[in-house]
Amino acid sequence: MLTADRTLRQKMGPRSPQFGGTVAAGFTVFRNSITAVCADGTLVPAGSTGTPSALVAILGLARHMQINTANFPGTGPGVGGSTAVDCLTGCYDLPFSDTAPTWADKGKPVYAVDDETVSLTQTPEGGTARLQVGVFAGIDADGTPYTEI
């Protein structure tokens, strides 16, 4: 057992694989939004309704903004449905929408409420089941909770 602080070296390994796809017609994903993939392979913001097919998984956080709406006045790489959006994985300080997790929640599943927030509750009362984003990783010294995607 340690009786004093020690210093350890840490090796940073590769992140988990990043997958992506094109944004579904009529949707926009923003950089660092929690992004879901539909059964047809297109991407939408987590928690979206009116999607082209059922939401089946959370891919991660969108690497960049992509607009695929017919009424957006502009052109460029961030507009249209042909540019793929990769989704980042890792450990992030995603805000919790309801009760803040505690250390007793370490390792528990974390679910997407929408493209911005998460929860430890899979199915809210009177609601439908949410997609799992990842697991609760821990709490930083300043009290910030982190989710491993």
* Residues 85-124 pLDDT 10s: 999 888 889 999 988 999 999 999 999 999 999 999 998 8
At residue 66, does pLDDT exceed 50? yes
At residue 126, does pLDDT exceed 90? no
Strands 20-21 and 27-29: unpaired
CB-based burial label for 3 (10 Å; 0-12, 13-18, 19+): exposed
149 neighbors 87 (Cβ within 8 angstroms)? no
Integer Cα distance of 146 and 149 in angstroms: 10
- State the pLDDT confidence band at 2, using cuts at 50, 70 and 90: very low
32 neighbors 62 (Cβ within 8 angstroms)? yes
Mean pLDDT over residues 5-11, rounded?
Answer: 42
The amino acid occupying position 109 is P
CA distances from 38 to 25, 51, 76, 99 (A): 12, 7, 25, 28
Nearest Cα residue to 63 out of 76, 51, 79, 78: 78
User: Residue 125 CB: number of other CB atoms within 10 A?
Assistant: 5
- State the pLDDT confidence band at 13, using cuts at 50, 70 and 90: very low
Q: How many residues does the chain have?
A: 149
More confidently predicted of 80 and 139: 139
At residue 15, does pLDDT exceed 70? no
Torsion, Cα 113 117 122 125, to 10 degrees, reads -60
Q: What is the pLDDT of residue 124?
A: 87
Question: What is the sign, positive or negative, of the torsion defined by CA atoms of 70, 71, 73, 77?
Answer: negative
Q: What is the pLDDT of residue 33?
A: 93
At residue 125, does pLDDT exceed 70? yes
Beta bridge partners of 67: 28, 79
At residue 80, does pLDDT exceed 70? no
% of the chain surpassing 70 pLDDT: 84
Mean pLDDT over residues 20-35, rounded?
Answer: 92
At residue 149, does pLDDT exceed 90? no
Integer Cα distance of 38 and 24 in angstroms: 9
